[in-house]
A and B are shown apart, each in its own frame.
Chain A
């Protein structure tokens, strides 16, 4: 652990004062730690500057938001990808929020302490560590093939829903756990049943936390590319998306543009990235706003 007490156990002649030297090293260590922290932040800054330099001009060229995919970098637009992402967002909310919040309520309010509950808990923790591309294979095997949905928007949305379910469950549980026990007891004391207590008191109280968690989870899904590639999203779509049609999404479109050899597509991809980052920024900003706004009540 700490350096041994040399002074008392050794003869006076061996003792060399070295405090200054050690303090100097300690100061250098502090600077090294600060640099370590700084490098991450600097790279984040470089990344943003690089993307904006490459894509900002392209962003404002006519037709970028309204144009369809194209073989020509200057004509290529985001329309189908943007629509696809909006569709995905709505479907994700519809599918994963009820299931995720339901599971969280069950685990926090209902689950007896038994093997099954423990098993479910371990399961959720484990699912959060599964690589996203493996969810893509799950979607390909179950939704595309077994359910016969094929490479469609619905299949992609279901896949992403399963991907973010563990995140939503964990966030919602935390919010529900923050509800004071006295609330529940007051409700029970008035003769309310368990469900009445949960639906009228626990959930309303926990909603800011749940909404924040949901937005952050969903924004993670909006930036996901790999599982959608496996499920069959494509980056050259020209038709409007539909539930049972092939689909595109912002990150897929960006990936498609990045992988094209023509240099002009680099700027188009960077412009797409700006749109994606802006979307995520707004979503996360909203989440943080809601958290801060409503946490004052507690």
Chain B
């Protein structure tokens, strides 16, 4: 990030030759080692892409694109094999949609309250408390969805034991900090002169918040929501535990569904030796998942960059 320090360069020139040669070599080695550390992240990305796509290519040598994208059933491990990815995507999107219906209003309400209403002291206590929600391990959320939320909801509505609804609701709670924190930062970045101008025109606090501050912070809010969707799509343990393992094409949140991540976890939990079709499906589904989240992350990044309002 930083430009090479001019001071260090001039010092190096003035040092005695002998000393600077050995020191120079040592310094170079250290710089290379540190560069190596930084390159581990590049290698990780390469590793992810190569492993995912290597096995995915093997998968598509056995299964045609038509079977993968046009079939409506996903039963790769049954005698009657079908490889249609849509039921898994359906499960993922259904649960993610429910989660976002919870996370967006609650996250934005929390952000609005902390930024516009709460005193600085209150906000600095409540914000970390809210962010605790992101620190709870997802296996714990899964437990909560299965043993608390589902039985609670079943008092009112008929639900399968495993269902999209309670896993979606709990996942939404988990994502509140993702939406809330990033939105909060962008709400706070809106200069107070805009607010004061609106107050000067006689606007109420709500009008200022919803018609001045929110529009001014829209890029950050949109980026936070898309990042939240990406979180939801990639979340595994809640859906494995509470949403079930039945790949289905359905929009009924009371039913059992299987998300992409749930399929991967379920099949990987049993031993699937390399070379079997089960092993290959893991990576085919994993590639799909990776591409979807990558796309969402890129969109979120672009929105944040492209539409960022810069205030002085």
Where the two chains meet, the residues of A that have a C-beta atom closer than 8 Å to any C-beta of B are 1-3, 5, 19, 22-23, 25-26, 29-30, 32-37, 39-41, 43-44, 46-47, 50-51, 54, 98-103, 105-113, 117, 119-120, 123-127, 129-138, 140-142, 145-146, 162, 165-166, 169, 177, 184-185, 188-189, 191, 193-195, 197, 219-220, 223-226, 229-230, 232, 251, 254-255, 258-259, 266, 269-270, 273, 276-277, 280, 284
Contacts and interface: CB of A to CB of B under 8 A. Distances in A.
Contacts of A30: 113, 117, 205-206
A134 B290 contact: yes
A266 B144 CA distance: 11
B100 to A, nearest CB: 15
A107 B297 contact: no
B204 A43 contact: no
Contacts of A113: 1, 3
B51 A193 contact: no
A189 B5 CA distance: 11
B237 A105 contact: no
Interface centre among A25, A47, A134, by most chain B C-beta atoms within 10 angstroms, is A134
A36 B109 CA distance: 5
A141 B51 contact: yes
A32 B140 contact: no
B41 A36 contact: no
A66 B240 CA distance: 28
Contacts of A124: 41
B286 A133 contact: yes
Given A99-B37, A102-B38, A193 B109 contact: no
Given A33-B112, A34-B113, A107-B1, A165 B40 contact: yes
B257 interface: no
Contact of B144 (A51, A131, A133, A142): A51
Contacts of B71: none
A106 B35 contact: yes
Given A41-B130, A132-B234, A230 B268 contact: yes
B63 interface: no
B139 A225 contact: yes
B165 interface: no
A191 B117 contact: no
Contacts of B173: 40, 43-44
B139 A2 contact: no
Contact of B114 (A37, A177, A280): A37
Interface centre among B26, B105, B126, B240, by most chain A C-beta atoms within 10 angstroms, is B240
B237 A255 contact: yes
7 contacts: A41-B130, A111-B38, A134-B289, A141-B283, A193-B12, A225-B138, A226-B138
A198 to B, nearest CB: 9
B27 interface: yes
Nearest to B197: A2
B157 interface: no
B41 A131 contact: no
B212 A98 contact: no
B41 A50 contact: no
Closest 6 CB pairs of A and B: A36-B109, A131-B234, A223-B137, A102-B37, A141-B51, A226-B236
B85 interface: no
B143 A254 contact: yes
A11 B264 CA distance: 68
Contact of B297 (A41, A129, A226): A129
Contacts of B99: none
Given A30-B205, A51-B144, A120-B42, A188 B11 contact: yes
A110 B31 contact: yes
A141 B54 contact: yes
Given A19-B202, A131-B290, A185-B7, A29 B212 contact: no
Given A23-B204, A131-B234, A259-B241, A40 B130 contact: yes
Interface string B28-68: 00110111111111101101100110110000000000000
A51 B146 CA distance: 12
B1 to A, nearest CB: 6
Contact of A50 (B108, B110, B148): B148
A107 B2 CA distance: 8
A108 B5 CA distance: 12
B101 interface: no
Contacts of B23: 193
A135 to B, nearest CB: 8
A177 B230 CA distance: 29
A86 B135 CA distance: 19
Contacts of B36: 102
Contacts of A169: 41
Given A40-B130, A137-B264, A258-B142, A99 B40 contact: yes
Given A35-B109, A273-B143, A40 B133 contact: yes
